Amino acid sequence: MTPAKASKVAYKPVGLALGAVSGMLAGAVFKQAWKMLGHDEDAPDATDEQRGWREVVLAATLQGAIFAAVKAIVDRGGATAARGLTGTWPG
């Protein structure tokens, strides 16, 4: 097995763990951002009859952007750390 392939295989469980951590972190960041926008309540679900289209779509857009950004930051940081430890990029 080549060193690059071994690094990729070894990184798999680390990547999965980082994915779980990034999901929890992104959820907390989104909750705070939603409050900062002046919404005291939880973000609306798409099927919440009491909430308007604008609020539902705004919440979904913000949540998606935050989740994508946090995932990219955590994934990139994990890959960079793996390269520092192993000398090869895990991707």
Residue 56: the pLDDT is 93
Segment 1-60, tens digit of pLDDT: 676 677 677 788 888 999 999 999 999 999 999 999 887 778 899 999 999 999 999 999
Count of C-beta atoms within a 10 Å radius of residue 66: 20
Q: What are 37-42's contacts with CB under 8 Å, separation 24+?
A: 37/62
Q: Which residue has the tokens 């060193």?
A: 3
* Lookup: tokens for 24: 């929890």
Residue 3: the pLDDT is 66
Q: Which residue has the tokens 């000398």?
A: 87
